[in-house]
Chains A and B, each alone.
Chain A
């Protein structure tokens, strides 16, 4: 097992490096000079030159990449061009906020998805299955930024029952575990949980349906087990598939939360990205995406290892 873990980690390293290269390349995808956001169009040439040197834009690309990567490894993601403050500082504030949202959305979406998917797969063709499949298709088809808006219209504008935006009273950027903050969490979490709910339901339903075809299920029935006891066995066998989907979906929650955070003005990484896009703040864009992408890589690695731990057959393939 330890050998396997080491091999997986070694395999992931080049991918992680590839990720950093791609993110670095983003600067050069951007049209115009990365400095154009801060430098006035009529600034004298020496000033532009000085700034270029200060940000290191005058060096050859591979050296820029090396320096950027070396600093990033040490936790220095450069300075935001728009605000002049370290990117790392902004990230330290924003990442936990996104995680709060993603973890709650994952809990809600995964729980609902697992329950709906397991029952729908087990009792295919029944009313419950039809309901679950319908909910799941709607969940994967709904534009979640619109769903957020609809929830705001219903629960904030019409019913005035829940807050429409922000993370806490008075638009404060600090999280606290009290009722007021939890109330702010409800609408964004529900919005964000819809897609993973749909995908988990669909995947688990398909996995359960496939496992039911296997002979051991007949054997269990023949042994005289109740159907809910058989269901436990079936769900256990579906676990590795579901785990893989859960891992992926959690990663997508982090990436997809940008739209939901925009709708609800939630001060997380999506909010930072939005800010970075509008001010053409490339270091901020790079830093945020780097953190999220590396987290995703790590998550995939973890899922991979956990999967083999649950089901040793995976290791051979």
Chain B
């Protein structure tokens, strides 16, 4: 899916031009995007910061000074800068730095998975609704309207609350709330493209429905859907940790930023700054995703 995106966005601009020209221009397009990005210092900075967050989560077992599950009754709630515990310890005496590094694994996974699955599911539903039109469109899009009738956070909490705590349940509930907007975008693009002359021409020359979707429609849909989805990741990370914060996502003793924030909440009078640390990680990650997606969007904007 990711491989298809570059040609997808390129084809969006050059819809209807012959292939050799598309190939030549698309290289030019990506070079322009890269040149624009390179000049955008904010985007570069937050992109690197994000890479750092990902790497530190990926290499947590090698970077972390301790064991994320090792408790110690005599070293509970130590402040930042305590010997051997650079960022202090939590309410069970576990090393905070270790848990913050490990916590990124679940937090990032729980934040990104719903967006990726919603990208597939929503994209598919939108394509089907747009391409088939008529009753199928009615059925799919009116169902999506019902999901739209809920404030999304409330719907995620409701589904998650009914399903019960758990990483998978949290991912499912977040996927559900991200599907409708993605389906809407995919549907509207598909509907627009479906009736264009070049699609008719393809059909007249004998292309089957699947070929038309794969070659002519998918390439147009992927661009806008992908751009929208990158913006969703930041929301998704906040909400995934928020569900854990409410006790609906990860269960103790797993290290996860939202859950750590929840359990440390009790000790803000003892050790306030350590309690705020997991939130800093969520904030930094979500801010980086937001600024990176803003930067990419303006770099990829062909109208500029």
Contact = CB atoms under 8 A, between A and B. Distances in A.
Interface of A: 14-16, 18-19, 21-23, 26-27, 29-31, 137-138, 140-143, 145-147, 149-150, 152-153, 157-158, 251-252, 254-256, 258-259, 262-263, 273-274, 276-278, 280, 282, 285, 289, 292-293, 296-297, 300
A47 to B, nearest CB: 25
B93 interface: no
Given A18-B146, A149-B265, A252-B153, A141 B283 contact: yes
A165 B259 CA distance: 20
A262 B161 CA distance: 15
Nearest to A14: B142
Nearest to B161: A277
Interface string B137-171: 00000110111011111110111011110000000
Contact of A27 (B159, B162, B248, B279): B162
B290 interface: yes
B279 A157 contact: no
B290 A296 contact: no
A62 to B, nearest CB: 18
Contact of B276 (A23, A153, A293): A153
A282 B162 contact: yes
A178 B88 CA distance: 41
Main secondary structure of the interface of A (DSSP, over half): helix
A137 B153 contact: no
Contacts of A26: 158-159, 162
B145 A18 contact: yes
Contacts of B234: 140-141
Contacts of B52: none
Interface string B263-304: 001001100110110111011001101110010000000000
A297 B158 contact: no
Interface in B193-240: 234, 238
Contacts of B6: none
B151 A149 contact: no
Residue among A150, A158, A276 with most chain B CB within 10 A: A150
B179 interface: no
B191 interface: no
Contacts of B258: 143
Given A143-B286, A153-B273, A153-B276, A277 B268 contact: no
A143 B157 CA distance: 16
Contacts of B147: 22
A25 to B, nearest CB: 9
Given A150-B279, A277-B248, A141 B286 contact: yes
B108 interface: no
A19 B272 contact: no
A157 B283 contact: no
A10 to B, nearest CB: 14
26 contacts: A15-B142, A15-B145, A18-B145, A137-B291, A143-B242, A143-B283, A143-B286, A145-B261, A146-B278, A146-B279, A149-B268, A150-B276, A153-B272, A158-B272, A258-B154, A258-B157, A258-B246, A262-B246, A282-B162, A285-B161, A289-B150, A289-B154, A289-B158, A293-B150, A296-B150, A300-B149
Contacts of B241: 143
A138 B146 contact: no
Residue among A152, A263, A289 with most chain B CB within 10 A: A289
A278 to B, nearest CB: 7
B298 to A, nearest CB: 12
Nearest to A137: B290
A273 B248 CA distance: 12
